Chains A and B, each alone.
Chain A
Amino acid sequence: MPEDDLYREIILEHASHPHHHGTVTSATHTTEGRNPVCGDEIALSWNEKDGKVSDIAFDGTGCSISQAAASILCDSVIGLPTSQALACARSFRAMLVEGTAPEDDMSDMAALQGVQAYPARVKCALLAWNLLAESLEAEEQSHD
């Protein structure tokens, strides 16, 4: 049986056993958002240390796509310099919004490429990533 283009095993695995689920204690950054159309909710908390995302976690409820995307986000950006985390979020957004081919280093992020074929679900996959990008962009501007 060919693998499902949307509900790939890796996504179902992240959705049912999310990584970095919860909140980071004494977080330097917290942000939360919701999708008013479907009620997906994500709260991100992370610690920035020496210009890097030293720890990150997410909490929330929602569909498998929104929860798997948040789990994959945490896996992908933990330990990265904040500038690289932002670049990562931008590549992810480009993959889903503009249809850009996933980059080699995107690993599990690329598993969400199939969401692009489901316009109503793109916002589910982007919820956590947009929260991270907006927060990092705001911080970048405040440092300018």
Chain B
Amino acid sequence: MTTSAHPLAHFDVQEIRKDFPILNDGTRTRPLSYLDSAATSQKPAVVLNAMHDYYVHANANVHRGVHELGDAATSRFEHARHRVARFLNADPRGLIFVRNTTEALNLVATGIARQGGLMASDRVVLSVLEHHSNIVPWQLERSTHGFAIAAIPLHPDGTLDMDEARKLLAPPTKLLSITYQSNVLGTVTPLKELIAMAHEAGILVAVDGAQRVPHARVDMKDLNCDFFAMSGHKVYGPMGSGILWGKPELLSSMSPFLGGGSMIDTVTFERTTWAELPQKFEAGTPDVAAAVGLAAACDYIDSLTYEAIEAHEKDLMQHLLHMLDSLPYIDVYGPNDRERIVGAVSFNVRGVHAHDVGTICDRHGVAIRVGHHCCQPLMRHLGVPATARASVAAYVTHDDIDSLGEALADVASIFGQVITQHTSPASQMEHRHA
């Protein structure tokens, strides 16, 4: 046997599935093809065990007291911070534990606006791809501070209109907040190009990285964004774990987000001063177990290697897109170049509402996401009320995708008459391969 440098040489998906208790749940009475990892990933036993171990051996409140368990808890929490920072190649002083991406983006919007960084004469630029969590926090701050909000438009295939982006990344824009990878289309934005354009014009860049980190290595020093938000629960970590990373000098100049314990230096009724980073942004007792679990998830991903995960998921996406493209009643949304659809794909069964598709898939034990995916502006752009979305992860198999194919054939059989009425696609985004 010759040795191989192929990234999948040591990648055995059946072995990986053994790491995930929920995929081997003997109490289930139905099969499970979990194609909804873009909503939340399943958790490997190493993550669950790390959290359990924390509660069994080290639980106490952090950054307080002088007892042994308090020291142990603080040590595990700070170790987790350094582990996640190393995972992202980021300065740990700028790494703040939050609950999720939504909270991270609210922190950025509030912290900048409250400190006077966004005023009535300023503009914040978003894109039509954004999740509501990267729209609503800015609208909330706009209601107080009166700045303008603009969105980079999309081409019909859902890719960013970079000419319009260039025009918007100019005065009076102060900040660009944009997704790294669309949770609906699976497309990756040209982030380094956008960041360079923004920085040239003195514009700060915040990144919604929630959908990118599950699929590819993200390096803060290489990316050079100013803020980066992500959720731990989409990268094999626990729910309630997330981070905001920010350049320390920017975070230092920002207003705190939540006030309370842990985030202060001195408190009097007249005036309070803030703790140093990162505690300034971590008011109240943190979810230490979630942080510990996220650190374990970083270890888990590194043990599989991103290289192998990417190769496996690329193979899965090819299989998935080939299956969808071969069904004449399916409309796939996104670029014609299917290689650009990463990790997740949105589609509709022509003439059938996505919720009906989701229910029939569920009856086959296939879990997909259906609805507007918290992206109503993008749905309006696509001209549909909702889509079905299938997403992949390290533990997904070809069999899972084949089960989706069988479920979609069942949709076609139940709604056959409706589908034949819709032979001409309503969507302007029809890009079927001939």
Contacts and interface: CB of A to CB of B under 8 A. Distances in A.
B258 interface: no
Contact of A63 (B356, B372, B379): B356
Contact of B355 (A12, A16, A121): A121
B352 interface: yes
Nearest to B416: A12
B418 interface: yes
Contact of B359 (A12, A37, A40, A118): A118
Contacts of A124: 355
Contacts of A118: 359
A35 to B, nearest CB: 9
B306 interface: no
Contacts of B359: 6, 118, 120-121
Interface in B330-372: 352-356, 359-360, 370-372
Nearest to A118: B359
A16 B356 CA distance: 13
9 contacts: A16-B421, A39-B379, A61-B385, A62-B385, A63-B353, A63-B355, A64-B352, A65-B356, A124-B355
A4 interface: yes
Interface string B300-331: 00000000000000000000000000000000
A106 interface: no
B67 to A, nearest CB: 47
Interface residues of A, number: 20
A27 interface: no
A63 to B, nearest CB: 4
B414 A39 contact: no
A38 interface: yes
Contacts of B371: 37-39
Nearest to B411: A7
Contact of B353 (A6, A64, A120): A64
Contacts of B421: 16
Nearest to B376: A39
Contacts of A12: 414-415, 417-418
Contacts of A40: 355
Interface of A: 4, 6-7, 12, 15-16, 37-41, 61-65, 118, 120-121, 124
Nearest to B414: A7
B108 to A, nearest CB: 26
Nearest to B379: A39
A32 to B, nearest CB: 15
B142 to A, nearest CB: 22
Interface residues of B, number: 18
Contacts of A65: 355-356
A40 B370 CA distance: 13
B146 to A, nearest CB: 27
B50 interface: no
Contacts of B289: none
Residue in A16, A39, A41, A124 whose Cβ sees the most chain B Cβ within 10 Å? A39
Contacts of A63: 353-356
B230 interface: no
A122 to B, nearest CB: 12
Given A12-B418, A16-B418, A39 B352 contact: no
B386 interface: yes
Contacts of B418: 12, 15-16
A27 to B, nearest CB: 25
A63 B385 CA distance: 10
A39 B382 CA distance: 15
Nearest to B370: A38
Interface string B374-416: 0000010000011000000000000000000000000000110
A62 B414 contact: no
A7 B386 CA distance: 20
Given A64-B356, A124-B355, A39 B417 contact: no
Nearest 9 pairs of A and B residues by beta carbon: A63-B353, A63-B355, A39-B385, A7-B414, A16-B418, A64-B356, A63-B356, A38-B355, A38-B371
A38 B379 CA distance: 12
A62 B421 CA distance: 17
A88 B100 CA distance: 45
Contacts of A121: 355, 359
Contacts of A39: 371-372, 379, 385-386
Nearest to B351: A16
Residue in A15, A41, A64 whose Cβ sees the most chain B Cβ within 10 Å? A64
